[in-house]
Amino acid sequence: MTETTPGWLAPEELEMTRARMPILYVDAVPVRVDDSGEVTHVGLLLRIGPDGTVSRALVSGRVLHHERVRDALLRHLEKDLGPVALPRIPASLQPFTVAEYFPTQGITPYHDPRQHAVSLAYVVPVAGDCMPRQDALDLVWFTPQEASSPQLQADMPGGQGFLLKQALAHVGCAP
Amino acid sequence: MTETTPGWLAPEELEMTRARMPILYVDAVPVRVDDSGEVTHVGLLLRIGPDGTVSRALVSGRVLHHERVRDALLRHLEKDLGPVALPRIPASLQPFTVAEYFPTQGITPYHDPRQHAVSLAYVVPVAGDCMPRQDALDLVWFTPQEASSPQLQADMPGGQGFLLKQALAHVGCAP
Amino acid sequence: MTETTPGWLAPEELEMTRARMPILYVDAVPVRVDDSGEVTHVGLLLRIGPDGTVSRALVSGRVLHHERVRDALLRHLEKDLGPVALPRIPASLQPFTVAEYFPTQGITPYHDPRQHAVSLAYVVPVAGDCMPRQDALDLVWFTPQEASSPQLQADMPGGQGFLLKQALAHVGCAP
Amino acid sequence: MTETTPGWLAPEELEMTRARMPILYVDAVPVRVDDSGEVTHVGLLLRIGPDGTVSRALVSGRVLHHERVRDALLRHLEKDLGPVALPRIPASLQPFTVAEYFPTQGITPYHDPRQHAVSLAYVVPVAGDCMPRQDALDLVWFTPQEASSPQLQADMPGGQGFLLKQALAHVGCAP
């Protein structure tokens, strides 16, 4: 069987590339907003890792070959929040920050043991119903204050807790 | 008759203040976006001035005392586009630029003979039906290419043509 | 004696205007950066209030009539840090956030009992020697971690502690 | 001879990866600024292609494995402008835009026949002397008005002319 889809990488090719190149990612912080655009809630995915540890995560994933950043955002949001979440992808691609996940700890606030990933991070208002699928167990909405709590921050590994705090600071939500 | 509304200025007081202080404004560029957030159209108000000259304008207006910037945006968008325009006020107050309208020409690209106005400028996706009222005759939707044309730019006085170009550059629309 | 300088307001006029209009401010977060642009230290002014309370503050002040935002930034930085601080005013006026100080508490994270001030906030690298004058006692440099500490945050009233945290989040400094 | 430097790719591996993954780039627009931060000049590299065609270019290049974005910016600026250019890498990694160069024309305003490159774009003030080396013949400084001219824009292929216009719009320079 031959794989001919452009942008597709065989597992061993992905491994090799991960050891040689920074991999382009997008991170999306799903939020509920009121009519004036103010963020009222932040959505976090609940994941259970292979070793049974519970963690919370933002919507995150690779940008594929020949895929626009906005299409990657849409694809990952649909994959994680379901087909009727109605995400409002920003009109401008200017991210609120660029998160550099290094395989080595301590170089930046972000860490990914698998790879060097560079992620464009966006706040994405979501207007519809969210029905997590794939490997996520659940999507839970938190107030900005709850999302800043040390307890919840501790459940977000690899610097995603800090990335969430950066998103909240960007939209003006005090802890 | 005594006016007691906070934030209200008698005409002569507004005149006096305009001669002494920069006045805080908001500028909103209404846009239509597709599902991936890409801008497909820009909305411009058609205005006829007291001297009969036709001009095109962005949604623009003062921020009042004790009014949040997001509420000022909402108020001016509703005033100019009607009650069912469904504007999506941005989650973050970070503007794409700050437009400084000076009463003297040539200090910045923006000019307002009446006052020194400093305006926070935002791109605002609009999802509903637009029914201009007040002093606007009509709202016309243009493609980004049409909006960048020299002809249309010439109809936007005081530097608003340049502000529109800045908005289009910010959202990645080439002329 | 008659004051004729444009942009000047008699104390009673400033009082009256403060009760009627949002007042335009700038906030600058002075930082030291290394050759790669990474923030190594944040500078905070030490102030002693009329009642003897010690507080820490960002560089902050009004934009005057017919003054550009960049000139207001330069003027306040020179006023607070001295003439040889060599501040690097940003090339773009896009602020990292807009801080809305309300006279009423709880509307936004910022509060100013005197007025409704709307402040454009910038991170400003400072390369030279800082010699605070005016009403500031001292300028002290803190690491980003020190600047995020609850103790130091408690010394920054009116929401400036949160504004500092927003600046640190914007430049990617984890607490 | 075996290459063991991490981040290095053999030519054939780079070719293969380019056909499978978006490649992370940085684009830097070198500028001269005055004391108030206002852009007075834009620096463009003069290049002569293998076929003798003259073109102008921004400072641009790949981000390597395990390299921070700020270090990639510094490396490419030093490579193209020489060791005493004294570039002021921004304190925040928030780019003014993300330029998506597609191997297929017309998907975005940017185009690179060799690859799908996604580039984080920054305006970088440069304070020192610039001495282009490598494959660049010369660095020429233009006023913002000259840089916006159709003639000069025509010399910047692959959408870099538009990226330059976006940079000028971001810093508030009208054509």
C-alpha gyration radius of chain A: 16
List Cα–Cα distances, A28 to A142, B53, D155, in angstroms.
Answer: 15, 46, 37
Contact C38, A107 (CB under 8 A): no
Structure confidence at residue A135 (pLDDT): 65
Output the pTM of the full model: 0.94
pLDDT tens for D83-107 read 999 999 999 999 999 999 999 999 9
Contact A94 D93 (CB under 8 A): no
Residue spans of the domains in chain B: they are 22-170
Measured distance CA(C60)–CA(C121) in Å, rounded: 9
User: Strands B117-125 and B23-33, how do they pair?
Assistant: parallel
Which range among A78-82, A94-98, B21-25, B45-49 shows the weakest confidence by mean pLDDT? B45-49
Residue among A166, A170, A171, A173 with most chain C CBs within 10 A, to mutate: A166
Contact B24, B60 (CB under 8 A): no
List Cα–Cα distances, B14 to A147, B21, B79, C19, C120, in angstroms.
Answer: 43, 10, 21, 13, 23
User: Strands A59-62 and A97-102, how do they pair?
Assistant: unpaired
Measured distance CA(A96)–CA(A85) in Å, rounded: 22
CATH class of C22-170: alpha beta
Q: Which residues of chain A have pLDDT under 50?
A: 1-6
Residue B84 Cα, gap to closest chain D Cα (Å): 32
**Dihedral pair phi/psi, residue C12, rounded to 5°:** -70, -30
Residue A47 bridge partners (DSSP): A55
Measured distance CA(C116)–CA(B68) in Å, rounded: 10
Residue D42 Cα, gap to closest chain B Cα (Å): 18
Tell me whether D132 touches chain B (CB under 8 Å).
Answer: no
Contact D90 C39 (CB under 8 A): no
More confident residue, A167 or B175: A167
Tell me whether B118 touches chain D (CB under 8 Å).
Answer: no
Q: Which residues of chain C have pLDDT under 50?
A: 1-4, 6
Residue of A nearest to B69 (CA): A36
Contact D137, D48 (CB under 8 A): yes
Q: Which residues of chain D have pLDDT under 70?
A: 1-9, 134-136
Residue C107 Cα, gap to closest chain D Cα (Å): 28
Residue holding tokens 């500490």? C149
| Eight-state DSSP code of residue B63 | P
- CB pairs below 8 Å between A and B: how many? 65
Contact A37 B70 (CB under 8 A): yes
Q: Which two tokens stand for residue B94?
A: 């970070």
Contact B96, B122 (CB under 8 A): yes
User: Strands C59-62 and C97-102, how do they pair?
Assistant: unpaired
Tell me whether C113 touches chain B (CB under 8 Å).
Answer: no
3-state helix, strand, coil in chain A (%, to 5): 25, 30, 45
Chain C (76-105) residues lying within 8 Å, Cβ to Cβ, of chain D:
88-94, 96
Q: State the DSSP H helix or E strand holding residue B121, giving kind and residue range, or none if neither.
A: strand B117-125
List Cα–Cα distances, A115 to C52, D19, D24, D96, in angstroms.
Answer: 53, 20, 14, 26
Angle, nearest 10°, between helix axes D160-170 and B160-170?
120
- CB pairs below 8 Å between B and D: how many? 32
Contact B174 D109 (CB under 8 A): yes
Average pLDDT, chain B: 91
Measured distance CA(D157)–CA(D175) in Å, rounded: 19
- D100 neighbourhood in chain A, CB within 8 Å: 68-69, 93
* Residue B47: burial class (beta carbons within 10 Å; 0-12, 13-18, 19+): middle
Structure confidence at residue C160 (pLDDT): 96
Residue of D nearest to C87 (CA): D35
Contact D170 C33 (CB under 8 A): no
Residue A137 Cα, gap to closest chain B Cα (Å): 26
Residue C95 Cα, gap to closest chain B Cα (Å): 6
List Cα–Cα distances, D75 to A103, D59, D69, D89, in angstroms.
Answer: 21, 10, 10, 11
Which chains are adjacent to chain A, needing at least 3 Cβ pairs under 8 Å?
A: B, C, D
List Cα–Cα distances, A3 to A10, B78, D14, D17, D23, in angstroms.
Answer: 8, 52, 20, 16, 21
List Cα–Cα distances, B17 to B20, B63, D31, in angstroms.
Answer: 5, 14, 38
Structure confidence at residue C2 (pLDDT): 44
Residue C171 Cα, gap to closest chain D Cα (Å): 4
What ipTM score was computed for the predicted complex, to two decimals?
Answer: 0.91
Q: pLDDT at residue B3 above 70?
A: no
Residue A53: CB partners within 8 Å, gap ≥ 6?
Answer: none
Contact D21 A17 (CB under 8 A): yes
pLDDT tens for C63-112 read 999 999 999 999 999 999 999 999 999 999 999 999 999 999 999 999 99
DSSP code string of B85-105: --B---SS---SEEEEEESST
Question: According to DSSP H, which parts of A27-157 are helical?
Answer: 69-81, 144-147, 150-154
Structure confidence at residue D59 (pLDDT): 96
